[in-house]
Amino acid sequence: MIVTTESIVLRTRKQGDSSRIVTLYTKDFGKLNVIAKGAREMRSPFASALQLFNHLSVVFYKKENRDLYLLSKAETVTKMTGIQLSMEQLTAASKIVDLVQRTMHDEQPDAKLFELLVKSLHHIAEDPPQLAPVVASYFFYHFAAHEGFAIQLPEEMEGDRFILNIQTGEIFEANLSAGSVDHRLVLVSAKALVVLRTFGRNAIPTGPTAMDLVVTDEVATILDKFLRVHIDTFRGQKVG
């Protein structure tokens, strides 16, 4: 059966003398592997399209009981070349696609996750490099919510410090010492909470707070600790 779908390139590796095996996350079929014959040849129509992070329209031959499909055509929808312009962008995008590759089961379609992936990579490619870590955290925040373990943002509360229970996802007001007595509790600054609230409104912050490296690192650490509790594959691997 010949099928057409949109996809993001998660990984490529050499196969034989001239071909590539490419791991794609597709809109209609989830994560899968295809073989692009002759893709490493100079005149191959696949050469420019099958670059890491690219958003593609692909055509491949899908057969039952196979774990590797023959790629017939690949056209670029969005070339994510901007991701290669800085280490911040490359690192953020790599963490996102690595997360998807490690946690998603093969051939389980998820159109909403696909759209989140496309949106996040597009922002990393097009936004200022300083925002790339924030976009990665935006992806992790919504990935967690999508998988059913969302952070529960509180109603407006005054204060400089809050605490996140990384097992329940609840954020509440607390004193500065509370986070040190229980490994399930993580301190959250008022600025970090502002960033999380912006994520909760399905927006990516772009102001001074988002440019503050201290805040950016704090948000990444908070999400890293939260995800480690809920996703086994994160244990021992830093995602933020």
Provide the CATH number for the domain around residue 31: 2.40.50.140
Based on the domain organization, do 132 and 77 belong to the same domain? no
The answer as to whether 149 is a domain residue is: yes
Of the listed ranges 18-22, 46-50, 51-55, 202-206, the one predicted with least confidence: 46-50
Mean pLDDT, the chain, integer: 89
pLDDT in tens, 104-116: 999 999 999 999 9
Q: For the residues 233-238, what does the mean pLDDT come to? A: 52
pLDDT band at residue 236 under the 50/70/90 scheme: very low
The answer as to whether 180 is a domain residue is: yes
Domain endpoint, select from 54, 81, 108 = 81
Q: Is the pLDDT of residue 78 over 50?
A: yes
Based on the domain organization, do 72 and 132 belong to the same domain? no
What distance in Å separates the CA atoms of residue 185 and residue 115, rounded to the nearest whole number?
32
Report the percentage of the chain scoring pLDDT > 90: 71
Based on the domain organization, do 146 and 63 belong to the same domain? no
The answer as to whether 67 is a domain residue is: yes
Based on the domain organization, do 159 and 229 belong to the same domain? yes
The pLDDT, as a whole number, for residue 181 is 53
The answer as to whether 208 is a domain residue is: yes
Based on the domain organization, do 159 and 66 belong to the same domain? no
The answer as to whether 111 is a domain residue is: no
CA atoms within 13 A on the CB side of 219: 31
Write the DSSP string, the chain. Answer: -EEEEEEEEEEEEEETTTEEEEEEEETTTEEEEEEETTTTSTT-TTTTT--TT-EEEEEEE--TT-SSEEEEEEEEEE--GGGGG-HHHHHHHHHHHHHHHHHSPBT---HHHHHHHHHHHHHHHHS-GGGHHHHHHHHHHHHHHHTT---BPPSS---SEEEEETTT-BEEE--TTGGGS-TTEEEEEHHHHHHHHHHHTT----SHHHH-HHHHHHHHHHHHHHHHHH-GGGTTS---
Q: For the residues 123-131, what does the mean pLDDT come to? A: 95
The pLDDT, as a whole number, for residue 146 is 94
What distance in Å separates the CA atoms of residue 20 and residue 107, rounded to the nearest whole number?
20
Q: Is the pLDDT of residue 121 over 80?
A: yes
Q: For the residues 131-147, what does the mean pLDDT come to? A: 96
The answer as to whether 97 is a domain residue is: no
State how many domains the chain has.
2
Based on the domain organization, do 135 and 223 belong to the same domain? yes
Distances (CA, A) of 218 to 134, 193, 214: 11, 10, 6
Domain endpoint, select from 43, 64, 81 = 81
Q: Measured at the alpha carbon of residue 28, what is the angle toward residues 23 and 142, in degrees to the nearest 5?
A: 80
Based on the domain organization, do 151 and 214 belong to the same domain? yes
Q: Phi/psi class of residue 117: alpha, beta or left (left: φ > 0; alpha: ψ in -120 to 50)? A: alpha
The pLDDT, as a whole number, for residue 18 is 85
Based on the domain organization, do 134 and 219 belong to the same domain? yes
Based on the domain organization, do 140 and 202 belong to the same domain? yes
Domain endpoint, select from 26, 61, 81 = 81
Q: Which residue has the higher pLDDT, 43 or 27?
A: 27
What distance in Å separates the CA atoms of residue 175 and residue 75, rounded to the nearest whole number?
55
Q: Which residue has the higher pLDDT, 42 or 12?
A: 12
The answer as to whether 228 is a domain residue is: yes
pLDDT in tens, 154-212: 877 677 889 999 999 999 887 655 445 577 899 999 999 999 999 999 999 988 888 89
Range of the domain at 202: 127-234
pTM, two decimals, is 0.91
The pLDDT, as a whole number, for residue 41 is 80
The pLDDT, as a whole number, for residue 178 is 45
pLDDT in tens, 210-226: 889 999 999 999 999 99
The answer as to whether 115 is a domain residue is: no
Among residues 29, 30, 85, 219, which one has the least CA distance to residue 140?
A: 219
Q: Is the pLDDT of residue 143 over 60?
A: yes
The pLDDT, as a whole number, for residue 233 is 54
